[in-house]
Amino acid sequence: MENIGNLIYAGKAKDVYSYKTDDNVIIKFRDDITAGDGERKDTFKGKGKCNSLISSKLFEILEENDINTQYIKLLESGSMLSKKLNMIPLEVILRNIATGSLTKRFPFKEKQDLKPPIIQMDFKNDEFHDPMLNDDIIITLKIATKDELSEIREITLKINEILSEFLKTKGIILVDFKLEFGKDLNGNIRLGDEISPDTCRFWDINTLDTLDKDLFRKGEGNVMDVYKKVCNLIVNEEDLNRWKIK
Ligand code: TMP
Ligand code: ASP
């Protein structure tokens, strides 16, 4: 690809490359999938393309609703041109319905509605296995300031409203999701990373069937069939044809 530079960072399912201009990067979505702190790994052909399209669409909707994100545009399916961010090592998780690690670790009922939603912050740190944090720990470790935490919480709640409403129109319940934020070169907080079935729980509004990475985590069902289904529900016909997803 034209103007692509050096590999800056290799994650579990994405790579970040430098770009011709210093303030931008290219995020490449790979076909890899992992679970359990990277213990289980697999590769599904077409997953990177699919997740990049879903992510782009959701970032575009957020930008239209005045959320500042890292996203600029898709260069080709699988490759996203993005603003360079200094990432804040937090996994900001918002939960609308209790499931997953929440019901394993705390006495919530499975599928219990959480109103108002719960925001949980985990430390993005493989060495310490992403432990859950509280405000004092975040502030004392200088991961973020008190004001930055309030800003992140406020943006996360707004993102939840925007995406829940949009996904509902596509027949999907936004059960929970994980966000990552960073600071741009002007020091402003922006949403970064991805929003995809790897980082969200999506349930079918009618059947409550799983439409996300939980299928892989639990070793059930055909992961790619479901990711393609989400892609087809969220991304419009023109873009699906343009990026040859069908
Ligand atoms: P959890 O219930 O396993 O804690 O997951 C909460 C949400 O965060 C769910 O939508 C999946 C997402 N998530 C990630 O994106 N990355 C991770 O490493 C983990 C553990 C969860
Ligand atoms: N992202 C984590 C891993 O790669 C696990 C998860 O998403 O559940 O191991």
Report domain extents, the chain: 7-85+229-236, 87-204
**DSSP SS3 for 195:** coil
- Which pair of tokens denotes residue 140? 């004392």
Q: Which amino acid would we find at residue 8?
A: I
**Is-contact 28 14, C-beta < 8 A?**
yes
Q: Is the CB of 35 under 6 A from ligand 2?
A: yes
Give the tens place of pLDDT for each residue, 76-85: 999 999 999 9
Architecture of domain 7-85+229-236: 2-Layer Sandwich (3.30)
Residue 178 alpha carbon, nearest atom of ligand 1: 8
Q: Is the CB of 161 under 6 A from ligand 2?
A: no
CA atoms within 13 A on the CB side of 174: 25
Nearest to 195 by CA among 100, 94, 44: 94
**Is-contact 120 95, C-beta < 8 A?**
yes
Does the fold of domain 87-204 match that of domain 7-85+229-236? no
The pLDDT assigned to 90 comes to 98
Q: Mean pLDDT over residues 178-192, rounded?
A: 98
Give the tens place of pLDDT for each residue, 85-129: 999 999 999 999 999 999 999 999 999 999 999 999 999 999 999
Q: Is the CB of 199 under 6 A from ligand 1?
A: yes
Q: Answer yes or no: pTM beyond 0.75.
A: yes
**Is-contact 19 201, C-beta < 8 A?**
no
Distance 213 CA to ligand 2 centre (A): 9
Q: Is the CB of 118 under 6 A from ligand 2?
A: no
Looking up tokens 């912050």 gives: 121
Measuring from atom 1 of ligand 2, which residue has the nearest CA? Answer: 35
Distance 198 CA to ligand 1 centre (A): 8
Pick the CATH number of 87-204 from 3.50.50.60, 3.30.470.20, 3.40.50.720, 1.10.287.130: 3.30.470.20
